[in-house]
Chain A
Amino acid sequence: MTATRNHVSVTSEGVAPARGESGYMAAAFTPKMLAGAFGLVAVVVLAGEAWAQLNSGAGQAGIMTTLWKWTPLILFGPKGEFGGFVLNIVVSFLAMAIGTISGLVLGLGLISKFGPVRSVAWAITQFFRNSPWLVLLFFVMLLTPFQIRILGLSIPLPAWLKATVGLALPIMANIAEIVRGAVNSIPTGQWESAESLAFSRLQTLWRIILPQCVKRMIPPWMNWYAILTMATPLISIVGVNDAMTLTQDALASEQRTDLLMPMYALLLLFFFVYCYPIARWTIRLERKYAVRI
């Protein structure tokens, strides 16, 4: 695993040969950090093994064996059902997509020339940026029905979908702020020259301003994606079979206190392995775009 990660970062360094220093940093840093994470898990597991050998007699499976046994369930959910770590990832993708599209619209509302639109957009943004995610999640779960009826057809709304919407709301508000900030960071000369070439405001935004914003928005956008992914275990509280719920289920069925630490460490590792490369990549892009605007 370590070797694989090392390989990936070396390859991406090859993509951007001009950034020798940052590439070197990433290449040197990544395996070290990963080794640290694996070391942590190893220590926890070994400590658990030692504890287990001290406390339990024969007839109990080893910790590694037990972890291995539960890994497919925690990663992919129960057979034939949608769940596990995969569900966390799907929820993070969907919530990010919904949040990005609605956040873009909301962000354009924030810079609208029309006062009332700006005020409404501002209120929505502030409300969702300053609300605890868990409370928002409950709010959406309880507000939306179990199913909706369209033309006599009842379509069930699964809990995970509602949870996705709940997580998309704070993302939307934060993306809106990113959009507003990026648009405002474009020099006014760009607006002036577009105006003097008879571009309308909408054309200016779409063809001239927003394309220049994309670069500036990608690093903070990715940062929010990582934050969102790490927040997805929140949905376990509202009864969704995500990796967190399944880890707790596994622990409940094993009834072994010596498994507590290793099991949660395993879950942490899943998230770490997924989120850490995103964080590294974000830092690299930030550096890259900071050099030439």
Chain B
Amino acid sequence: MTNAWTPDQPIVSIKDVHKSFGPIEVLKGVSFNVRKGEVVCIIGPSGSGKSTLLRCINALVPIEKGSITVEGQEVHDAALDKLELRKKVGMVFQSYNLFPHKTALENVMMAPIHVLKRPREEVEAQARRLIKKVRLEGKEDAYPGELSGGQQQRVAIARSLAMNPDIMLFDEVTAALDPETVKEVLVTIRELAEEGMTCMLVTHEMGFAREVGDHIYFTDRGIIVEHGPPATFFSNASDPRTRAFLSQIL
């Protein structure tokens, strides 16, 4: 942790972040940096603070101590314009959270129109391109209730991308899906990664993390136990906790 990997220009910089929910300290001093275009996978047992960490980055959850900067801007700052920050950071959730009263296309179009105040025609054209990109052509007018979990999750990804974010956060986006549909979502994320999108994923998909991730972080009980590029991380884990976790999962 102290010998943290240092990039040339971190797009996200996390330093000694602490976060508690009541008496439970979820994050106990987490630090790392993310370079632009990097794909970072955070793995670890449930309750180790992975999701909380992601939520801190777009200020959904306030932190108590430490510092998080996104493109040089401090997130842990009372005067921060959270809405400006969130325009740069897209987030996709485990439970999709599509707006059920809007069609797939409307879900993608809402934020650019109402938040960014961009012209409707332009937004619609972009939204249709994004729906096509996530391989849901023809589902533009379907309501979330009419789509499968994997389809909903891909709409959610398109919805985030419509804001043209610099960073995408994925919070266990495949955890609620059945094995067959996991793949279609992972394919979409991999394409994004290949296009150079900076991605931070909390995931239990070890195969995917190994294949797509540039750097793996293993968290347990609020700290980063071990990290490294997938090749060394998965084959030469040194910490006994990491090895125990990996032996259970792989």
Q: Told that A187-B95, A193-B91 touch, could you supply 7 new A-B pairs with CB distance under 8 A?
A: A187-B97, A189-B93, A193-B93, A193-B156, A194-B99, A196-B90, A197-B115
Q: How far is the CA of A207 from the CA of B60 in the complex (A)?
A: 19
CB distance from B105 to the nearest CB of A (A): 15
Q: Are A197 and B101 in contact (CB under 8 A)?
A: no
Most buried by A among B95, B160, B163: B95
Question: Footprint of B on A, CB under 8 Å?
Answer: 187, 189-190, 192-200, 203, 207-208, 211-212, 292
Q: Is the CB of B95 within 8 A of A197?
A: no
Point out the residues of chain B lying under 8 angstroms from A292, CB to CB.
145
Beta-carbon contact of A199 and B60 below 8 Å: no
SS class, residues of chain A in contact with chain B: helix
A198 touches B86 (CB 8 A): yes
User: Are A190 and B111 interface neighbours, CB within 8 A?
Assistant: no
Contact with A along B75-89 (1 / 0, CB 8 A): 000000011101101
Q: Judge whether A197 and B86 touch: CB under 8 Å.
A: yes
- Asked if A193 meets B100 with Cβ closer than 8 Å, knowing A207-B110, A207-B114, the reply is no
CB-based contact B97/A211 at 8 Å: no
Contact status B93-A200, CB under 8 Å: no
Which residues of chain A come closer than 8 Å to B156, judged between CB atoms? 193
User: Are A190 and B97 in contact (CB-based, < 8 A)?
Assistant: yes
Contact residue among B84, B100, B111, B145 (Cβ-Cβ distance under 8 Å from A197):
B111
Q: B residues touching A (Cβ–Cβ < 8 Å)? A: 58, 60, 82-84, 86-87, 89-91, 93, 95, 97-101, 110-111, 114-115, 145, 156, 159-160, 163
Contact between B91 and A196, CB atoms less than 8 A apart: yes
- Cβ B86 vs Cβ A193 within 8 A: no
Residues of B within 8 A of A211 (CB): 101
Looking at the assembled complex, report how far the CB atom of B179 sits from the nearest CB atom of chain A, in whole angstroms: 23
Are the CB atoms of B111 and A199 closer together than 8 Å? yes
Interface pair A197/B160, CB less than 8 Å apart:
yes
Complex-state Cα separation, A198 to B87, whole angstroms = 6
Task: Tell me if B100 and A212 are in contact (CB < 8 A).
Answer: yes
Residues of B with C-beta under 8 A to A194: 99
CB-defined A-B contacts under 8 Å, sample of 12: A189-B93, A192-B60, A192-B93, A193-B97, A194-B99, A196-B160, A197-B111, A197-B160, A198-B84, A208-B110, A212-B99, A212-B100
Evaluate whether A199 and B114 lie within 8 angstroms (CB atoms) in the complex, with A189-B93, A192-B93 already known: yes
Q: Given the known A-B contacts A196-B60, A196-B91, A198-B83, are A203 and B97 also in contact in the complex, defined by CB atoms under 8 Å?
A: no
- Output the nearest chain A residue to B94 by Cβ-Cβ distance: A189
Residues of A within 8 A of B91 (CB): 193, 196
Residues in chain A near residue B93, CB distance under 8 A = 189, 192-193
The verdict on A196 contacting B99 (CB below 8 Å), with A207-B110, A292-B145 known, is: no
Residues of A within 8 A of B83 (CB): 198, 200
CB distance from B90 to the nearest CB of A (A): 7
A203 to B160, CA, bound (A): 17
Q: How far is the CB of B71 from chain A (nearest CB, A)?
A: 15
Rounded to whole Å, the gap between the CB of B110 and the closest CB of chain A is 7
Beta-carbon nearest neighbor of A197 in chain B: B111
Q: Which residue of A lies closest to B111 (CB)?
A: A197
